[in-house]
């Protein structure tokens, strides 16, 4: 272990090929130790019930002040050892649950700064962050379709209402909607780890130019051999059935049947009703041209700022609505 070791964090965002990176790309990087999605028992409480045992996801749901008195306990949970016993070398951790905290970018930045301070005590000279993002209209449709089985109201009209709420300053724009304000997110991360140690890449680069995508990711992770040609084995989200259309997950519908005669079941101290469940038809949602424009207009200043700050050409991917 040396002070020159690097701790890499892949923080998502959700819906940006996280599973593909975790299964196909990260394990193949020879330049570092990939520890996967850290899980442990250092946290308890309602946050853990929702997130499961993911150590970093549970960390960023709490105050960033935890890294002072509790940071070493979290890192012991991550590495399974004391600081002096950590094997030498660069390390990569991946958890898109960190990226979900991007809806509160200032808090996320504070957590990353706390992680960086704690990391120095574990022999890491720097923390580097990989963050993927995706065109906002497509992200919203993909996210809505992904969780539609939990929403009995899932439909085109409800989807459009949800988008309206996300864009509304009095609604979700400065809450959940901040997750898609990528320039603000990038600024908060840069403030925490430094500009050279953040790589922001569009999901669309993987879809349209997988060779360049792999080269940029592997180079950022310190892999020397990045000159090869890489095929795109990433399967796009199965919920996207065709351009602009996303299939909804069928929701469970429940029906209560009362058993007769009720007095008999009561006398026998048996339940007087049963619950039957079945999956409803899923349907689909569509990003209409007008809906797409309204979403992209809202985030256009942020997208332009992001493109300028990172030298990204987002025009071919449709991030800017046509005049």
pLDDT value of position 249: 84
Contacts 24+ apart (CB under 8 A), 86-90: 86/1, 86/122, 86/123, 87/1, 87/33, 88/1, 88/2, 88/5, 88/123, 89/1, 89/5, 89/32, 89/33, 90/5, 90/6, 90/7, 90/8, 90/31, 90/32, 90/33, 90/222
Average pLDDT over residues 271-278: 62
CATH number for the segment(s) 5-135+179-234+300-317 = 3.40.50
Which H helix or E strand runs over 162? helix 156-167
Strands of the chain, DSSP E: 5-10, 33-34, 91-94, 124-133, 198-202, 240-242, 245-247, 252-258, 273-279, 284-286
Instruction: Give per-residue pLDDT as tens, 33-65.
Output: 999 999 999 998 877 767 789 999 999 999 999
| Alpha carbons 91 and 69: distance in angstroms, whole number | 23
- pLDDT-derived band of residue 71, with 50, 70 and 90 as boundaries? very high
Q: Coil, strand or helix: which one is 312?
A: coil
Cα separation values, 9 from 56, 142, 219, 230, Å = 10, 24, 15, 23
| Beta carbons within 8 Å of 246's beta carbon, 6+ residues apart | 141, 142, 144, 145, 237, 239, 240, 284, 285, 286
pLDDT value of position 306: 98
Q: 123 near 83, Cβ under 8 Å?
A: yes
Is the pLDDT confidence value at 233 over 70? no
Of 48 and 294, the one with more pLDDT: 294
Q: 198 near 186, Cβ under 8 Å?
A: yes
pLDDT above 90 covers a percentage of the chain that reads 76
Domain with CATH 3.40.50 in the chain: 5-135+179-234+300-317
Is the pLDDT confidence value at 299 over 90? yes
């Amino acid at each position: 272990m040396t002070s020159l070791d690097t701790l890499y964090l892949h923080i998502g965002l959700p819906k940006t090929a996280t599973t593909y990176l975790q299964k196909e790309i990260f394990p193949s990087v020879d330049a570092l130790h990939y520890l996967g999605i850290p899980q442990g028992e250092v946290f308890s409480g309602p946050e853990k019930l929702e997130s499961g045992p993911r150590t970093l996801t549970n960390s960023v749901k709490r105050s960033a002040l935890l890294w002072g008195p509790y940071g070493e306990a979290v890192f012991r949970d991550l590495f399974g050892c004391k600081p002096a016993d950590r094997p030498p070398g660069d390390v990569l951790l991946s958890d898109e649950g960190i990226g979900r905290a991007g809806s509160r970018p200032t808090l996320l930045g504070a957590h990353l700064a706390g992680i960086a301070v704690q990391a120095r005590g574990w022999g890491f000279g720097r923390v580097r962050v990989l963050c993927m993002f995706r065109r906002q209209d497509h992200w919203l449709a993909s996210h809505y379709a992904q969780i539609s089985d939990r929403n009995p109201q899932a439909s085109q009209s409800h989807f459009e209402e949800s988008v309206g709420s996300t864009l509304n300053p009095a609604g979700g724009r400065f809450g959940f909607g901040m997750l898609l304000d990528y320039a603000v997110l990038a600024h908060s991360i840069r403030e925490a780890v430094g500009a050279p140690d953040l790589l922001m890449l569009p999901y669309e680069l993987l879809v349209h130019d997988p060779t360049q995508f792999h080269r940029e990711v592997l180079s950022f992770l310190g892999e020397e051999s990045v000159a090869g040609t890489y095929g795109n084995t990433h399967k796009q989200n199965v919920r996207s059935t065709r351009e602009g259309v996303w299939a909804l997950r069928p929701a469970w519908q429940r029906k209560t049947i009362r058993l007769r005669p009720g007095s008999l079941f009561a006398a026998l101290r048996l339940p007087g009703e049963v619950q039957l469940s079945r999956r409803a038809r899923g349907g689909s949602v569509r990003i209409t041209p007008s809906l797409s424009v309204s979403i992209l207009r809202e985030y256009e200043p942020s997208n332009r700022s992001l493109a300028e700050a990172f030298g990204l050409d987002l025009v071919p991917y449709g991030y800017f609505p046509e005049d």
